[in-house]
Structure 1
C-alpha cells in the first residue's frame, strides 16, 4: 500500500512538473507576442502622428520607417529581384518570435484579434514546409494561415 502511494505521488509530481514547465514556456511566448504587438502598434501610431504633424517626409522614410529596424524588419534586407520587400521562409526561420509577431501585424495592416490568435498564426506559419524555403515569399505562406490577402 505504501509503495502504491509513493508511486502515485511521484507520478502526480512528474505530471505537475511537466505541466508547470510547459505552461511557463507558453506564458513566456504569449508575453513576448503581446509585448511585440503592443510595441509595434505604438511605434506605428507614433510614426503616423509624426508624419501628420511634421508633414515633411522623404520617400525613403515612408518606405523604410526607422522603427522597423528595432524589429529586425529593415526592408533593405529583404528586397527581392524586382525591388519589392519580400522576406522568404529562410528569413522567417532566422527571426525571433518578436520579429515574427511584428511582421504579422504589419502584414495584417491592423491589430490582431488577440495574443492567443497571433501565437497560433505564427505556429501555423512555422509548420508550413514552405516557411523553411529560401525562395518562398513568407507572405504567401502567411496568407494561407491568416486567410487574408495582403
Structure 2
C-alpha cells in the first residue's frame, strides 16, 4: 500500500513533467510567433521603403521594379521561381525548403495587404503546411495558399 508521502511525490513529479512539457511547447510557439511578427514588420517596412523610393523618382531598372532587391533578402527572388510562362510561381517543393521568414514574406506578398495579425499569419502558414498539395513538387503553392488565405471573420 502506498503511503501518502509516496503519492504526494508521484503527483509532484507528474506535475513537474506536465509543467516542463507545457513550457517547452509554449516556448517554441512563442519563438515562432516572435519570428512571424518580426518578419511581417520587416517585410512591410522594406516594401514601404521601396515604394517611397519609387515615388521619390529614384532611378530603378525594369528588373528592380519587377523583382525588388528586398525580396531577395527573404529568399523570394522572382527569377528563381518562374513557371514556363515566366510568372512567379513557386511550387510545393519550394515551400518545403523555405524557412519561416520566407513563408511569412510570401504570405504577406500574396495577401496583397497587411495581414490581420501575427496569430492569423501563423495559422495561415500552418494551414498551407497541412495541405497535401503543398508537398507536391509541381503544385503551384499560390493555388494552395489561396485556399487558406481568407479574411478572418
**TM class, shorter-chain normalised?**
over 0.9
Q: Distance in 1 between matches of 2:117 and 2:85?
A: 34
Ranges of 4+ aligned residues in structure 1 off by more than 4 Å: none
* Aligned residue pair count: 148
1:59 positional shift = 1.7
1:89-129 Cα distance to aligned partner (Å, 9 max, x none)? 11000000000000000001111000001000000000000
Aligned to 2:142: 139
Q: Distance in 2 between matches of 1:52 and 1:30?
A: 33
Unpaired runs of 5+ residues, structure 2, are none
1:54 positional shift = 2.1
Q: Distance in 2 between matches of 1:131 and 1:15?
A: 34
Aligned to 2:70: 67
Q: Distance in 1 between matches of 2:150 and 2:44?
A: 21
Rg bigger for which structure?
2
Q: Does 1:3 align with 2:6?
A: yes
Pairing 1:1-150 to 2, within 5 Å after superposition: 1-147=4-150
Q: TM-score, with normalisation over the residues of structure 1?
A: 0.96
Range moving further from structure 2, 53-62 or 108-117: 53-62
Which structure's residues are more often helix, by fraction?
A: 1
1:67-91 Cα distance to aligned partner (Å, 9 max, x none)? 0000000000000111101000110
1:55 positional shift = 4.8
How big is the alpha-carbon RMSD for the aligned residues of Structure 1 and Structure 2? 0.9
Q: TM-score, with normalisation over the residues of structure 2?
A: 0.94
